[in-house]
Chains A and B, each alone.
Chain A
Amino acid sequence: MDFSPVWISLKTTACASAVTFVLGILAAWAVMFIKGRRLKAVVDGILTIPLVLPPTVAGFFLLYLFGARRPIGSFVEDVFGFRIAFSWFATVLAAVIVSFPLMYRSAKAGFEQIDQNMIEEAKMMGLGKWGILWKILFPCTFPSILSGMILSTTRGLGEYGATAMLAGNIPGKTRTLPLAVYSEVAAGNMDRAWIYVAVILGVAFIAVWIMNMTAKADREIKM
């Protein structure tokens, strides 16, 4: 039995979650300060779109930009001598792109619920943008952020389409759990697929449990 997909997926998901966490919160926070309503809507749309696109379309765009013969892909290879396509890094990239909108939207939804007067007062008391983020937005919206983190983490763990297109299916290198499940099922090895499925089910169960616990804790705080 080959357990490498489990480790590859855990590594990929951990890295992707960390990146998505930071980028998602920063993006939500930055979008809050955009003044023009139209510009805000456009930026919001662009940041959300990977969520509603089929993963293969996200993969298509990733390949179009980061493929070995494509603009960014060939630039990185020329300058750093590193090929993104078929690398483990590509699994992280794919996971970040598809899971980012979930973190971004959860954080943004949380930020929008905060009383604007509180923020205005904080501004008057001399708190800067970073201060507002750390001292007000972040602590007040912790449940939203946590649920965004869990949703994006599990979405990243489940990423298949874009990963297969950009990172390939290299056992021991880029074969993540969803790819392993697909390959085993395609080969008719349902028993082996079960082991990978069980790991994913376990993680999914824990994720839902944490989310329910935080929702409960949040309600109790508000009461």
Chain B
Amino acid sequence: MKKKILAGMIAAIMVFSLVGCQSEEKKEETETKKEETKVEGTVTLAAAASLEYAFTEKLIPEFEKEYPDVKVEGVYDSSGKLQQQIEAGLGADIFFSAAEKQMNELNDEGMIDSDTILNMLENKIVLITPSVSDKTFASFEDIKNAGTVALGDTASVPVGQYSQEALTSLGLWEEVSAKASFGTNVTEVLNWVAEASADCGIVYATDAATTDKVKVVAEAPEGSLKSPVLYPAAITKDAPNPEAAKAFYDFITSDEASEVFESYGFSDYRDVK
């Protein structure tokens, strides 16, 4: 008896949900016809973790207001992990990397529409400490005085690679890496410092700006990095939704978007080259 009632309930739920789907589909159809826009569907954005706030708070809502039939789904992680996910078939339309290495590797594998690769942004790396710190740090080189240091993993996180490059050119790498905890993404590094687990750490200027629990001591000295920290954006070769991807790409490389990025601490790199 109980089983019958249960079966009846399940059947009823299924019927209702089917009816629900149909009416929704119809609604969507009529709406699209009214506006006569071809650009619709979902755009999957694979972006470096440091771009997350600019996208989720400003750019994606603004874009979706302009294109109401497009939904942008963001995947935010370290560029190395995003590269792996794209190789594994994430189905991303747009890749916005925090370093040229990952973009170039994907491009070499034929997974990127080469013509669309644009070095959009620059980001600086900075030494941070907890906002209330018991030790005093005055310059970037004072990193050697720390008991523990939070760094990005040099093998997988771009900010880790830049930190290594800067510290190596300053002759501090051996000393600092011996007492470093290596985060697998930059947010982890930031939180270790924000929680004062580490005395100091190296992150992007943009990450440091996201929390008042850390303060910036200094930028990496001029010349300690051979090349600037660049953020290339591109459309993938097998973008599942090419039209919407193109619209979104044009939007995020526009002057309007550039202003938003600058408000999050990035510098526009389009003019520089």
Contacts and interface: CB of A to CB of B under 8 A. Distances in A.
A153 B122 CA distance: 47
A168 B184 contact: no
B198 interface: yes
Given A168-B198, A169-B182, A187 B155 contact: yes
- Interface residue tally of chain A, by bracket? 20 to 34
A61 to B, nearest CB: 13
A79 interface: no
A86 interface: yes
A68 interface: yes
Interface stretch (B35-43, B67-75, B189-197, B215-223): B189-197
- Interface residue tally of chain B, by bracket? 20 to 34
Which secondary structure dominates where chain A touches chain B?
Answer: loop
Nearest to B184: A186
Nearest to B132: A69
Contacts, number: 66
B203 to A, nearest CB: 15
Interface string B145-158: 00010100101110
A86 B182 CA distance: 11
Contacts of A164: 188
A187 B78 CA distance: 11
B155 A189 contact: yes
A175 B191 CA distance: 17
Nearest to A69: B196
Interface in B195-236: 195-198
A187 B181 contact: no
B98 to A, nearest CB: 14
Interface in A157-174: 164-166, 168-171, 174
